[in-house]
Amino acid sequence: MSLSIPPEPLDLKRLLKEFMRKYASENWDVGSFIAWFGNKLPAYLWTKCNWKSTLMKEGWTWQSFLKFLSRRTDDIIKWVNDELNWEQLVNKIISDLKSPTIKRIYLRRG
Percentage of the chain lying above the pLDDT 70 cut: 95
**Measured distance between the N- and C-terminal CA atoms of the chain, rounded to whole angstroms:** 23
> Is the model's pLDDT at 110 over the cut of 60?
no
The model carries a pTM of: 0.88
pLDDT value of residue 38: 86
Confidence of residue 109 (pLDDT cuts 50, 70, 90): low
Q: Please list, in sequence order, all residues whose beta carbon lies within 8 angstroms of the beta carbon of residue 60, skipping any fewer than 6 positions away.
A: 68, 97, 106, 107
pLDDT value of residue 33: 81
Confidence of residue 10 (pLDDT cuts 50, 70, 90): very high
For 55, counting Cβ atoms within 10 Å of its Cβ (0-12 exposed, 13-18 middle, 19+ buried), the class is buried
